[in-house]
Structure 1
Amino acid sequence: MAEQKRGRRTSFFIDGFNLYHSLRTAERLLPHTQLKWLDIPALCRSYLPMVGNGAELEEIHYFSAYADHLQKEIPQKPERHRKFTRALTASKVNVHIAKFRKKKVWSHSQKIWLEAYEEKETDVAIACKVLSLAQKNAFEVAVLITGDSDFSPLARTFK
């Protein structure tokens, strides 16, 4: 029996916060449109024809962090995010959760130090996952879904 030829094994790596903020912007531009519960596997499958050569979906990796620091002001937000990541996991998406770190930032307008939070480790986790899976020959094509130019060195290294 002849072995069936497979298409190009394609894995997706999604910067979750970058995607989330892009969807929020789109919702502001398209009133009465709700995009935050985007079907990520369907989005990834829709990219496969652009990859070409009979591309096949291998894996989807979604990277984010829970904004637990918002619990006091918007209590439902962190729980909605957890529900979304559970839905992704149920859809066979590999979810990778980083963290937020508190930092002090200077407010020039108020002339005081304020507490702020920034997402940490997500970009490095994406880069490490792409390179480790590439080393294992786990895919032939890597698609990064992000608007972050910090990934340019990763793309050059991978290429």
Structure 2
Amino acid sequence: MVALLQADAKLPRAERRALGDFDTPRIERHVGVWKPGPGLCFADVLVIEEGKLAGWPPRVETFSFKSRDLSRLNGKALEAQMIEDAREALRKYGEVLDIRRDSLQPLLRQGSEVPVSRVRLIYEGGDLKPTNTNYLDAAVKKVHEKVPGVEVLIQ
């Protein structure tokens, strides 16, 4: 996934699939972030805008990767698992984060606390993906209704 994001970042902005909202995305792995409640957590991937926007905090998005066997879950059980995963991703990596990585501090023009524009929860696909696409589509729709601010994708 990280390699796909890095390749996406190299494309012209109009051609990007995942990072089109960024002018100059910087992709960082396993970034320590602090929030009251969960405390210190490590985002699988944090993308931060390297471009300069005077007076504004930098654009930040987080990615959480799950390798969870969803193939045996159907209906309400699938929805419940995905909603719980999305709530956890939002609780740990969404809203406002205090970024702890020293090398990112120069990009944080207004201190180390930054708002997160979007949290993406990405499940591993293949054999781990539910076989019934109707259940999967319904579960993803339910997550987007119940946990705004988290985008769910299956690879």
TM value normalised by structure 2? 0.34
Structure showing greater Rg: 1
TM value normalised by structure 1? 0.33
Choose between structure 1 and 2: higher helix proportion.
1
